[in-house]
Amino acid sequence: MPAEPSSVRITRDCLGHWYASFVVTREAEPIPAADPGSAVGIDWGVARTATATEERFDLPHHGHRKRCAAELARAQRTMARRRRGTGHPPSKGYRRARTRVAKVQKKAARQNRHDGRSWARAVVEAHHLVAVEDFRPRFLSRSTMARTAADAAIATVKRELLERGRRAGRKVVSVRPAYTTMTCSRCFARAKQPLGLEERIFRCRACGHTACRDRNAARVILAVAERGHTGVDDVSQADHLPPGGGAVAV
C-alpha cells in the first residue's frame, strides 16, 4: 500500500467471501489531457454492447454469461433434484448447488465489469467530449432480447463510462435516444418509418448516405451533443442543410 491505512472495513458477501477495504492517502494520478477537439459518440446495442463513431472504440459483446451457461445449467439441475417439499429446510446439497449458481453468475458479472472499466478508461483518456445515448434498457427485460441484454450489461458499462468521464473532467452529454436511429448523420433527414431490428444498414433517401445502423446513430448522437443539445428535435434544421440547399425533415 502507498501509505499506512487510517482505517479498514471488513465485509462479507452473500457467497461467504470476505473483503478488506483500506483507507489510505496517496497522490492522485494525473489524467492525460485530451485534445480539445476530440469527441466521440456512443450508441448502445445488443449485437455490440457499444458502437462508437470510430470503430476502434467499439465495445464488442463478449457473451460471458453465455459461456457460463452450461456450468450454470448443471448447478440449476442439481438444485432442482435436491429441492425438498414445502415445509422442509433445504438440504446441504441444495445449499451447495445454490451457492454454485450464485458464484457462476457473479463470475460473469465481474468479467463484464472488468471489460467495461477497461473500455471506459480508453474512451475517456482519448476524448474531451463524450456523447452518450441516454439508453434505458428496462424495456428489453420484457422482450425476447432480455437474456442477451442482461449478458451485455449495458447499464453497468454506461454507469462506468459516465462516472469515469466526470471524474476526469471531460464534457459528458447524455442524448435522448428518440429518432437517433431514424436520422441521417450526414443531412439529418429523418426516415418516415422506424427501422426494424433486422435492418442493420441505414439508407438515407434524401442524400443517399449509407452506413451501419448503429454507427450512423452514434454520429447523430455526437452531432447533437456538439451543438449543445440533448435531443434530435432540439437541433435546428439550418445547421444541417445540404450544400445545394433544400429542406431537411427533422
**Exposed / middle / buried, residue 190 (Cβ in 10 Å: 0-12, 13-18, 19+):** middle
38-65: pLDDT as tens digits: 999 999 887 788 899 999 999 988 777 7
Question: Which value, in Å, is the radius of gyration of the alpha carbons in the chain?
Answer: 23
Q: How far from 240 is each of 113, 157, 189, 236, CA to CA, in Å?
A: 38, 31, 9, 8
pTM beyond 0.85: no
CA 39 to chain centre: 18
Report yes or no on 215 lying in a domain: yes
CA distance 139 to 102: 25
CA 154 to chain centre: 3
Range of the domain at 223: 7-27+39-238
CA distance 107 to 118: 17
pLDDT exceeds 70 at position 149: no
Sign of CA dihedral 4, 10, 15, 17: positive
Instruction: Give the residue, 15 or 237, on which the prediction is more confident.
Output: 15
Report yes or no on 173 lying in a domain: yes
- Confidence at residue 249, expressed as pLDDT on a 0 to 100 scale: 37
Count: domains in the chain = 1
Report yes or no on 194 lying in a domain: yes
Average pLDDT over residues 5-19: 87
Residue 103 grid coordinates? 458464484
Closest to 235 (Cα-Cα) out of 246, 221, 224: 224
Contact 153, 113 (CB under 8 A): yes
Report yes or no on 217 lying in a domain: yes
Report yes or no on 14 lying in a domain: yes
CA distance 34 to 119: 16
Report yes or no on 234 lying in a domain: yes
pLDDT exceeds 80 at position 159: yes
Report yes or no on 90 lying in a domain: yes
171-201: pLDDT as tens digits: 999 999 888 989 998 888 888 888 887 788 9
CA distance 182 to 17: 47
